[in-house]
Amino acid sequence: MSEASGFTSMAGAKAEGQAPQIGVGMLGYAFMGKAHTHAMLNIGHMMYPPPAVPKLVGIAGRNREAVAEAAKRYGYQHAYTDWRDLINNPDIQFFDNGGPNDAHAEPCIAAAQAGKHILCEKPLARTAEESKLMLDAVQKAGVKHMVAFNYRFVPAIRQIRKLVDSGLLGKIYHFRAVYLQEWIMPHYNMPMIWRLQKKMAGSGALGDLGAHIIDLARYLVGEVRSVSGMTRTFIEERPWGDGTMGKVDVDDAFVSLLDFENGALGTVEATRFAAGRKNGQRIEINAEKATIVFNLERLNELEVYWVGDQPKETQGFRNVLVSEPFHPWWENWWPQGHMIGWEHTFVHEITHLLDCIVNNRAVSPIGADFLDGYRNSVICDAIVRSSESRRQVDCVYEA
């Protein structure tokens, strides 16, 4: 992974010496458990030579049969019904938390206290207060920590950040982002699930989808000073499996203005009520020298407009294919134009964390660490408070 460590890894490259193995303990075997494990199985041969090779030691869930089946399918040596068994296993050095949001804090804090390096899914926790406890624990333990804001690891997004850092874009005026899905609209007949309960999820579209684009706002533009937000719940009751009704106490959608410390102005919006939108994430940056647009459904492309670089008759937006060997992480994949996808973001993400662990590098800014996760939570909480109070709210960071 030349992105982080400087070594090249063209196909056919030879590794000098043996990459160390790092024992992995995975909490959760569903959506994210599968995505992370898929990535780990690819690292040893695709991110070559790898900084370390993940060894799938154990996986935890709650249902004995289901977790045993997952262990067999993914190739973990042990299946546990209590995450504490992952933490107590001395062969596990890296704890990967792909559980629901209410299962982030306690296991991650215990893992930190046991000296394990940690990858935790986003949002880091249900509230900023809970995120702060997690941040304090990893800092005290001195372990490496990362929040799985995987969109930082889309090559096109990393390329935008490189352009920002190089100064080529000049001053940034606007950041605008939408993250649109449809899967809890009436035509899906979605019953009550953990994502619709505050005690488990913390918030709704805000913490689930909004957290991603708020992370990109911070990653690409800078720190957020204050917000002015509005949240809405369109369907307030949903049936449990037994037919009784449960109260939805999280947002189905939110919109917010972002006031950046560097003077830029932002808007972020996320919903699960956008008919036809499956995973519609789009961001646009308007800067002094250029406008850049990213659309997740075309994740190997950037739409770019450079101010004044063409005769006026041919001035306009151009589509740039981000798939050259010199684009971030691309040297590890295929010849240019042979596309990569959403799942590869996790390969880049976990390789980066392994590199940070083995070579003692900083996780941030290429990845989001728990400080980023905490600050993200502060912004999410401020958006809720702004909506409740109908006022602009300052983001107060205690770290």
Alpha helices in the chain (DSSP H): 2-5, 31-46, 64-74, 84-88, 105-113, 128-141, 155-166, 198-201, 205, 211-220, 343-359, 370-389
To the nearest whole angstrom, how small is the minimum distance from the Cβ of residue 180 to ligand NAD? 15
Handedness of CA 99, 235, 296, 370 (dihedral sign): negative
Q: Which residues contact 252 (CB under 8 A, 6 or more apart)?
A: 184, 204, 205, 232, 233, 234, 235, 271, 272, 273
Nearest distance, CB of residue 298 and ligand NAD, angstroms: 17
Query: Does 122 sit near ligand NAD (CB under 6 A)?
Result: yes
DSSP class of residue 208?
I
CA gap 356, 399 in Å, rounded: 22
Mark 197-216 with x for binding to ligand NAD (rule: CB under 6 A) and - for no binding: -----------x--------
Does residue number 27 form part of the binding site for ligand NAD (CB under 6 A)?
Answer: yes
Using CB under 6 A as the binding rule, whether residue 98 contacts ligand NAD is answered as yes
Q: Which of 9, 24, 26, 33 binds ligand NAD (CB under 6 A)?
A: 33
CB atoms within 10 A of CB 79: 20
- Minimum distance of ligand NAD from residue 193's CB (angstroms): 8
322: contact with ligand NAD by CB under 6 A: no
Q: What DSSP element (H or E) covers 304?
A: strand 301-306
Structural tokens at position 221: 């533009």
Helix, strand or coil, per DSSP, at residue 12: coil
With CB under 6 A as the contact rule, which of the stretches 15-23, 28-36, 85-93, 297-305 interacts with ligand NAD? 28-36
Mark residues 62-91: x for contact with ligand NAD by CB under 6 A, - for none. x--------------------x--------
Residue 121 in contact with ligand NAD, rule: CB under 6 A: yes
Residue 98 CB, nearest distance to ligand NAD (Å)?
5
Contact residues toward ligand NAD (CB under 6 A) are 27-33, 60-62, 83, 98-101, 103, 121-122, 148, 150, 208
